[in-house]
């Protein structure tokens, strides 16, 4: 039950491109908030700071996903992609279709 490695590579490439595009789009949202009290009220500044913090947190999550993609690409190169890193059993194709970066089978991931 070997996974379709070419399809896996394509899914990883697509996911990587999607993450990089989202990162580029949110760059302005992560910029420091200007605290000019003359032009913006206190509540608007607080809202802007909250939005900036949320955008920063989303960027951290995207960076974690890029690391997971790198790890999955390494497993592909080493011939270990599609096999659970914990128990050694095959990871279900449906799981890999949903999360091409998965390194554990459903049973090991649930532990």
The per-residue pLDDT for 31 is 75
- In angstroms, the CA 28 to CA 73 distance is 30
The SS3 of residue 1 is: coil
Question: How confident is residue 1, by pLDDT bands cut at 50, 70 and 90?
Answer: very low
Percent of the chain at pLDDT exceeding 90: 62
- In angstroms, the CA 68 to CA 97 distance is 15
Asked which of 36-40, 55-59, 64-68, 95-99 is least confident by mean pLDDT, the reply is 36-40
Average pLDDT, stretch 97-105?
A: 94
Q: Is the pTM of this model over 0.85?
A: no
């Amino acid at each position: 039950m070997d996974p379709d490695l070419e399809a896996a590579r394509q899914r990883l490439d697509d996911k990587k491109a999607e993450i990089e595009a989202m990162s580029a789009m949110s760059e302005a949202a992560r910029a420091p908030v200007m605290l000019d009290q003359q032009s913006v009220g206190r509540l608007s500044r607080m809202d802007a700071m909250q939005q900036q913090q949320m955008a920063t947190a989303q960027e951290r999550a995207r960076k974690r996903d890029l690391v997971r993609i790198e790890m999955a690409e390494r497993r592909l190169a080493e011939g270990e992609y599609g096999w659970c890193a914990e128990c050694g059993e095959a990871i279900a194709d449906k799981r890999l279709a949903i999360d091409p970066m998965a390194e554990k089978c459903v049973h090991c991931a649930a532990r």
